[in-house]
């Protein structure tokens, strides 16, 4: 390939600096014109700096032996001692396993449910019925975890809970759901499904409305019945939305709902229910090991960040729009 | 469109499909809502019925004893007062900051807009965690004040981004013509942008209001004084720890109603405000949630 070389016009130093000055003046003019806008943003930015970024700076206490009366500047440095303690403690693997288990339940048990429900809702032809079901299944999303867990508690409790009364009527043995560690994970994921599955359909339903109706016509001519249309037309059409949401979910691997798990924990299920967040709470605020628990939180945060970045890369590799 | 295309004579298979589908959906809807009906029903039941009936959705005899009992204590009024305060004050406070930030960042001609955006989005990907945040709340002197439930969560990055994209989708000409007429940036925001964005602002306000009403975690992290507990913490105390209402010191003189109905009634009281706004929520929320889930 031949290229035509354009003789470069050498600018003199004076010209360059003049150009720079002009640019700077222009930039300054644009900033000044919007000074009121900067004033508007200021309170919000100050909030983020104090309550979001200052805690990030505060993470340096995880490399210290932080003493509240000495403060960050006065406390001794201990290097990676707290991280070493975390990785060598037997609790680490318990917490790691518990976190992984709940995450697995979220991905393999919870995640498909909103997709299935939205496929079913899409097949409903009576708008009134569809709206009615939607209204009902969105409700639990607006309830606090305290309410969700409280309702489960009164229904599952051994003395007088409706579920155990039912078991008794059926001639079965009563089950102590709340104090039995084996029931922790089923209860956790059932509550997640109850609260979020209905609300989770919204994004899939929206994606389904974009499906080309001609595809159904073509499928029908090929002799596809309703179920096959759902399976071979609707589902593949929302594939990209499913992938993006799955990746988002994977990115949130460690956000299993501190409040939810904390409310479910009791002395008898702690060995299956303790996750990183609840461990941080107990070690930090109940036992006062600020530095150690900050280190645990730091580790969790870094893993979470890596997962989000990797998940986003994956989304882009799948030719899907990333999340940021 | 798709509905029309599929009309016409239905095959037998299609009919079977429909009846299975409708039945399953009705079941899903029913299962979702039955626990709430059970709770509401039990809260009105008499002690005799609670003791005798095995299965209870609607009591045959209604009584308000459980409600009379919990409202005879100061505890519930104090907790409801706290919750109402943080919901109202918190929503106004959060909306003030969120609108200003979202509008500012929606202006495309702003120098440094991308950097400022990133500053906020990054907080959704990484945060200092519970302990360092606790230390900041402690240092700022908010600990054990109701403002600890509000100020540390002033702007929700997610809500701000939703609001910002609403503002960005407003027609450009609106602002420009106002600018030509000599309006200031604040004038444009308050006289033009906010009035035309009221539905979106209502949506985000309701998001904040529900979050504030449901506040639990921050209360147990930052408040040690039980007189400042919001209703969610009280509910937790009553249902799981079976403490909270002191039986003495109330103006309730009859035999106290069964513990179960008291628990049920407290759940209802903590839930009703959300259920009352739910019809309004539903209309706006689906829209907001949709935007929120696509934009990140």
For every residue of B235-296, DSSP letters joined together read HHHHHTS--SS-STT-S--SPPPPHHHHHHHHHHHHHHHHHHHHHHHHHHHHHHHHHHHH--
Question: How confident is the prediction for chain B on average, in pLDDT?
Answer: 85
Q: Name the segment(s) of chain A with CATH classification 1.10.3720.10.
A: 81-317
Across the interface, whether the CB atoms of B101 and A43 are under 8 A apart is answered yes
What integer pLDDT is reported at residue A10 of this predicted model? 66
In chain B, what residues touch A124 (CB-CB under 8 Å)? 21-22, 25
Considering only CB atoms, which chain A residues are within 8 Å of B119? 45, 48
Q: How many CA atoms lie within 13 A of B102 on its CB side?
A: 28
**At B73, is the secondary structure helix, strand, or coil?**
coil
Instruction: List Cβ neighbours of B246 (8 Å cut-off, separation of 6 or more).
Output: B73, B75
Pull the structure tokens for residue B84: 């109402």
* Domain residue limits, chain B: 2-66, 74-244
Which alpha helices (H) appear in B126-242, and where do they start and end? 130-139, 157-168, 172-180, 185-188, 194-196, 198-213, 217-222, 231-239
Mean pLDDT of B107-127: 90
Find the closest chain B residue to A230 by CA distance: B17
Q: DSSP string covering A124-167, please?
A: ---HHHHHHHHHHHHGGGGS-HHHHHHHHHHHH-TTT-HHHHHH
Angle, CA of B263, B264 and B268, to the nearest 5°: 120
Q: Are B219 and A262 in contact (CB under 8 A)?
A: no
**Chain B residues within 8 A of A194 when measuring between CB atoms:** 32, 35
Contact B284, B206 (CB under 8 A): yes
- Report whether A104 contacts A96 (CB < 8 A): no
Q: What is the mean pLDDT of chain A?
A: 89
CB contact under 8 A, A59 and B109: no
Substitution target from B131, B134, B140, B168 for chain A, most A beta carbons within 10 A: B131
Chain A residues 120-179 with CB within 8 Å of chain B = 120-121, 123-125, 129, 132-133, 135-140, 142-147, 149-155, 160, 162, 165-166, 168-169
The residue of chain A nearest to residue B206, with distances taken between CA atoms, is A142
Give the residue ranges of DSSP H helices in chain A.
Answer: 13-33, 35-48, 54-58, 71-74, 81-88, 90-104, 112-122, 127-138, 145-156, 162-169, 184-208, 213-221, 226-229, 235-237, 239-251, 258-264, 270-273, 276-281, 290-317
Share of chain B above pLDDT 70, in %: 85
Give yes or no for residue B94 having a pLDDT over 80: yes
Mean pLDDT computed over B252-277: 85
- The predicted-structure confidence for A147-160, as pLDDT tens digits, reads as follows 999 999 999 988 77
Inspect the interface and report whether the beta carbons of B32 and A308 lie closer than 8 Å: no
| A109: contact with B, CB 8 A cutoff | no
Does the pLDDT value for residue B249 go beyond 50? no
Q: Say if A260 is an interface residue toward chain B (CB within 8 Å).
A: no
Residue A321: predicted pLDDT? 61
Q: What is the CATH number of domain B74-244?
A: 1.10.3720.10
Report whether A142 contacts B210 (CB < 8 A): yes
Cβ distance B185 to A133 less than 8 Å, yes or no, reads no
Say how many Å lie between the first and final Cα of chain B, rounded: 31
For residue A189, name the pLDDT band (cuts at 50, 70, 90): very high
The mean per-residue pLDDT over the stretch A55-75 comes to 90
pLDDT tens for A15-57 read 888 889 998 998 898 888 889 999 999 999 999 999 999 999 9
Query: Where does the pLDDT of residue A115 fall: very low under 50, low under 70, confident under 90, or very high at 90 and above?
Result: very high
- Distance (Å) from the C-alpha of residue A226 to the closest C-alpha of chain B? 6
**Quick check: pTM over 0.90?**
no
**% pLDDT > 70, chain A:** 94
Quick one: what percent of chain B has pLDDT higher than 90? 50
Q: Does A7 touch chain B (CB under 8 A)?
A: no
Instruction: Identify the CATH assignment for A81-317 out of 1.10.3720.10, 1.10.1040.10, 3.30.1330.10, 2.40.110.10.
Output: 1.10.3720.10
A238, A314, B102, B179 from A322: Cα distances, Å: 16, 8, 22, 36
Query: Closest-CA residue in chain B for A259?
Result: B217
- Whether residue A116 contacts residue A198, with contact meaning beta carbons closer than 8 Å, is answered with no
Q: Considering only the beta carbons, identify the residue of A44, A138, A144 that sits closest to B100.
A: A44
Per-residue pLDDT, B247: 45
pLDDT > 80? residue B241:
no
Which tokens sit at A116?
């299935």
For residue A216, the chain B residues in CB contact (below 8 A) are 2, 5-6
Which single residue is written with the structure tokens 């975890």? A145
CA gap A54, A73 in Å, rounded: 14
What mean pLDDT comes out for the span B6-27? 84
Query: Which chain B residues are within 8 Å of A308, Cβ to Cβ?
Result: 125
Contact between A139 and A127 under an 8 Å Cβ cutoff? The reply is no
pLDDT band at B256, cuts 50/70/90?
confident
């Amino acid at each position: 390939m031949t290229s035509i070389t354009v003789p470069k016009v050498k600018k003199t130093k004076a010209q360059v600096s003049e150009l720079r000055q002009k640019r700077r003046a222009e930039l300054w003019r644009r900033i000044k014109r919007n000074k009121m806008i900067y004033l508007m943003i200021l309170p919000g930015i100050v909030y983020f700096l104090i309550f979001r970024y200052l805690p990030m700076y505060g993470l340096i206490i995880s490399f210290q032996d932080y003493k509240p009366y000495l403060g960050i500047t006065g406390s001794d440095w201990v290097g990676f001692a707290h991280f070493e303690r975390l990785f060598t403690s037997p609790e680490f693997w318990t917490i790691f396993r518990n976190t992984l288990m709940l995450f697995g339940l979220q991905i393999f048990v919870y995640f498909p449910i909103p997709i299935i429900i939205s496929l079913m809702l899409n097949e409903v032809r009576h708008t009134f019925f569809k709206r009615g079901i939607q209204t009902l299944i969105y409700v639990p999303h607006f309830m606090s975890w305290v309410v969700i867990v409280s309702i489960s508690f009164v229904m599952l409790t051994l003395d007088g809970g409706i579920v155990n009364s039912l078991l008794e009527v059926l001639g079965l043995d009563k089950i102590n759901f709340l104090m039995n560690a084996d029931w922790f994970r089923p209860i956790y994921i059932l509550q997640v499904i109850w609260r979020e599955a209905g609300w989770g359909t919204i994004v899939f339903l929206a994606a389904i409305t974009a499906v080309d109706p001609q595809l159904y016509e073509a499928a029908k001519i090929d002799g596809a019945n309703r179920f096959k249309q759902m399976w071979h037309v609707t589902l593949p059409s929302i594939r990209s939305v499913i992938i993006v949401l799955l990746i988002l979910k994977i990115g949130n691997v460690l956000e299993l709902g501190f409040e939810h798990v904390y409310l479910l924990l009791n002395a008898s299920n702690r060995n299956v229910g303790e996750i990183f967040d609840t461990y941080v709470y107990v070690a930090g605020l109940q036992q006062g090991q600020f530095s150690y628990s900050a280190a645990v939180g730091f580790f969790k945060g870094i893993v979470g960040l890596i997962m989000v970045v990797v998940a986003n890369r994956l989304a882009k590799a799948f030719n899907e729009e990333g999340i940021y | 469109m798709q509905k029309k295309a599929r009309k016409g004579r239905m095959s037998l298979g299609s009919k079977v499909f429909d009846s299975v589908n409708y039945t399953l959906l009705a079941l899903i809807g029913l299962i979702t809502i039955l626990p709430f009906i059970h709770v509401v029903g039990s809260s009105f039941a008499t002690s005799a019925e609670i003791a005798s009936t095995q299965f209870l959705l609607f009591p045959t005899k209604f009584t308000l004893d459980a409600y009379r009992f919990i409202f005879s204590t100061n505890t519930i009024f104090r907790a409801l007062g706290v919750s109402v305060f943080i919901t109202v004050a918190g929503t106004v406070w959060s909306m003030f900051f969120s609108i200003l930030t979202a509008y500012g960042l929606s202006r495309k001609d702003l120098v440094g807009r991308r950097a400022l955006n990133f500053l906020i989005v990054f907080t959704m990907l990484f945060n200092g965690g519970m302990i360092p945040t606790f230390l900041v709340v402690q240092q700022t002197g908010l600990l054990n004040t109701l403002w600890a439930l509000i100020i540390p969560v002033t702007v929700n990055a997610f809500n701000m981004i939703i609001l910002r994209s609403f503002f960005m989708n407003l027609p450009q000409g609106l602002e420009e013509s106002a600018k030509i007429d000599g309006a200031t940036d604040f004038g444009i925001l308050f006289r033009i942008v906010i009035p035309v964005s009221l539905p979106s602002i209502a949506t985000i306000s309701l998001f904040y209001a529900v979050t504030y009403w449901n506040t639990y975690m921050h209360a147990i992290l930052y408040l040690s004084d039980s007189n400042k507990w919001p209703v969610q913490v009280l509910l937790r105390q009553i249902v799981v720890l079976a403490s909270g209402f002191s039986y003495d010191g109330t103006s309730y003189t009859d035999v106290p109603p069964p513990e179960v109905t008291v628990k049920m009634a407290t759940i209802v009281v903590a839930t009703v405000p959300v259920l009352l706004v739910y019809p309004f929520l539903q209309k706006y929320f689906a829209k907001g949630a949709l935007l929120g889930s696509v934009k990140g």
